[in-house]
Structure 1
Amino acid sequence: MKSRLLELDAIRGLAAVVVVLYHYFYRYHEIYGHAGLPYQWAQAGQYGVQLFFMVSGFVIFWTLARIEKPADFIVSRFSRLYPAYWASVTLTFFAVGYVGLPGREVHWLQAVGNGLMFHEYLRIPHVDGVYWTLTVELTFYFWIFLLYLLGLLKRVEYCLLPVVALTALQGLGLVSLPSAINKLLLVQQLPFFLAGIGFYKLVHGERSAVVLFAIGFSWLAALADFSVQRLAAYSLCYLLFYLAVSGRLALLATRPLIFLGGISYALYLLHQNIGYLVIQAFYAGGLPPLAGIGLALAISLLLATLLTHCVERPAIRWIRELYANSAALQRLAGRLRPAGGA
């Protein structure tokens, strides 16, 4: 399983890189405009987000399959997501507020609201636009954790396939769901989470017809709103992910991609608005924009590395150790409690 974990890290690293390139070239041009710089080639980088969702489906199901009690999952996800996120929100808010980035500045109260991570449900604007995926992640955690609490995790495909069917029907134009329902049920993103779960079961020996159907149907549902670009991108995502987690793509587990996978969460959180500030500074100074993109990438990688090693990983260790010690103390207290009551 070790090689598969390395390849999963490599998938994360690859997804992070293509998303960064998408934002610095294609998305920046859409918002502010690149002068004479080719950008169309980077459009496909938007599909790196789907790879992230597949990784999440795989990892979250794996996590739930191993935990001993519900609180283990809550502490695991909180320690993994929130400390690095809070640091990123703070850094991005002050950077944008100090330098200025038209259309992307928010009030400090809105920045505080971002700390919830599900602030989109409260219609609080994002400190950085990439945070929309974190609302999606938390929503997925909620639903999958609920299935775990209800004892339905082993039948997760049966529970999720009806929603994925809505994805297909909406993509075909046969139904039109309110945006609130789409957001709450993850109608647009659920096929990729389900695919990740299906691939987890597949590579762990569960080759039942329903697992194979769930993977295949999730792919078809995602393609219901058809385009040639989506067909190529989603097919590549599914194939690449399966080859990686099944141990058939060892060449992907290179040091650079594994390193990028290790800092991918921090890189994703920090790269967009801070990168835009750097690129705009180069344009304002009459300097080559490609050099600005290069510097933006370098700064984002440096900040992500620092955030990972100075905030994310220490916080994970501290919170989980605190929780483990607390659980041990609770068990000890339970054994020492006198018979007959407190």
Structure 2
Amino acid sequence: MKKIRTIRRTQEHNEILDNSFITPGRFRELDGLRGIAALSVVAYHFGYPAVQNYPRIAPEPYSIPLGELGVQLFFIISGYVILLSAIKSGSALKFGISRFARLYPTYWLALAVAAAVYFLYGNPGRNITVIQTLINTTMMQRFMLVDNVDQVYWTLAIELQFYLLMGFYLALRRGRIYRREITIGIFCWTTLGLLICCIFHPEASLTGAPKMLVWGVVAEHAALFSLGMVFFMYSHDRKFTWLMPYCAVTASINAFLMHDGAHGVGVAIICAVFFAVIYVRHVPFLARGPLHTLGTISYPLYLGHAMLGYMLIDMSYPWAGAWGARILALTLVLLWAWCVHSTVETRVSAALRNVLARKLVRA
């Protein structure tokens, strides 16, 4: 009997995560969480950071405390979704095609709009060149030490590093994902990130090799992506693992080390809320309604809200006032995001994915 139990435990640890592991149907609550993340980031950016580039609206700044933590929520969601996408893809090539078609068309459009805003309207706090804009089309400008055309693009490089890591694993294992290996990888990556954050902190003071090391390992954010993957496995088999609290605590410590105590507490709250959502599973106000709608347009909203939104605030401020200008900008940016989602995300990206799949996968 002892031998049989040992064999069963071994088989469980070596379990392959395939389509049979995935619960049918879309987890709509994730879109609601995306909506919260997007709204918090937009609200934060429309506040005090905006006045740094547009002096005439400086007299009336406001700030959403820790609104930027919406980005951390995005990273947890990404960990959840990317493991799901990798399982569905079944190969590194299909996974790469899926990610490319999902990200690049919307990004290119947002980049074109941001560049047009700068060259036609201007931005007092930026100095953008044509060459810089062209390099930005690769989405890999951070690795080339080239500044982003729009500062919100910094998260895309971090996302790409995570995708490349997952794609490399898929290529190495020929499309198979082993639970035990993913678990070991999560622990090692999270621990390495924590060690680097303990040695090199805070991030604002880093330059040269230490900064490149923090960037290269995605040290501050590794625990967030890892937690998202752990949450995905838990949400589909309901098997609690020690990696959940380990990744959550590590993410909070990293935020404390790289920023301050408030950020650490904020990340801890985000982790707890995310777990509560996947534990309860059915959360109506996230699965439908305004937050769910915001979540479905969150990618173009995130990419387009800053440069476009700041221009709209600056243009309308003289006659609409501080709050009127921000409300108008938010309304128009939401309209922009909905239009991009309805056309580029749902049609162009799907068509591009199908074309690439025909040309590359069947070749």
TM-score range normalised by the length of the shorter chain: 0.7 to 0.9
Q: TM-score normalized by structure 2?
A: 0.82
Please say if residues 92 and 168 of structure 2, whose CA atoms lie closer than 8 Å, have aligned partners that are also in contact: no
Q: In the alignment, residue 256 of structure 1 is paired with which amino acid?
A: P
**Following the alignment from structure 1 to structure 2, what is the Cα–Cα distance between the partners of residues 49 and 153?**
29
Partner of 1:274: 308
- 2:193 matched residue in structure 1: 167
Which residue of 250, 270, 277 corresponds with 1:244?
277
Change beyond 3 A, Cα 1:18–1:211: same
Give how far 1:266 is off.
0.3
Does 1:109 pair with 2:131?
yes
The question of 1:290 aligning with 2:323 is answered yes
Provide the residue aligned with 2:120 in structure 1: 98
> Structure 2 vs 1, CA of residues 325 and 171 (structure 1 numbering), >3 Å: closer, same or farther?
closer
**Aligned residue in 2 for 1:126:** 148
RMSD: 2.5
1:288 is paired with a residue whose SS is helix
8 A Cα contact 1:194 1:218, kept in partner: no
Structure 1's 146 and 306: CA in aligned 2 closer, same or farther, altered over 3 A?
same
For 2:325, give the aligned amino acid.
G
Q: Where does residue 75 of structure 1 map in the other structure?
A: 97
1:302 maps onto 2:328 in alignment: no
| 8 Å CA contact retained: 1:164, 1:221 | no
Contact 2:78 2:228 in 1 (8 A): yes
Matches within 5 A, 1:176-195: 178-195=210-227
> Contact 2:190–2:250 at 8 Å: present in 1 too?
yes
SS at 1:156's partner residue?
helix
Instruction: Tell me what 1:339 maps to.
Output: none
Partner of 1:158: 184
For 2:99, the aligned partner's letter is R
Does structure 1 conserve the Cα–Cα contact (< 8 Å) formed by 2:40 and 2:67? yes
The match for 1:336 is none
- Kindly indicate whether the alpha-carbon contact (under 8 Å) linking 2:200 and 2:210 is maintained by their aligned counterparts in 1: no
TM-score after normalising by structure 1 = 0.87
Match of 2:42 in 1: 20
Please state how far the C-alpha of 1:87 moved relative to its aligned partner.
Answer: 0.7
Q: Is the 8 A contact 1:58 1:193 kept in 2?
A: yes
The CA deviation at 1:210 is 4.7
Q: Equivalents in 2 of 1:276, 1:174: separation in Å?
A: 33
Q: What percent of counterpart residues are identical? A: 28
Q: Distance in 2 between matches of 1:253 and 1:296?
A: 26
Contact 1:20 1:271 in 2 (8 A): yes
Q: Deviations over 1:219-247 (max 9, x none)?
A: 45435527442243112211221222341
- Say how many residue pairs are matched: 328
- State the shift of 1:275 in Å: 0.8
Q: Which residue of 2 aligns with 1:200?
A: 232
Out of 327, 352, 357, the residue aligned to residue 319 of structure 1 is 352
Q: Where does structure 1 lack aligned partners over 5 or more consecutive residues?
A: 331-342
Of 111, 119, 123, which residue of structure 2 is paired with 1:89? 111
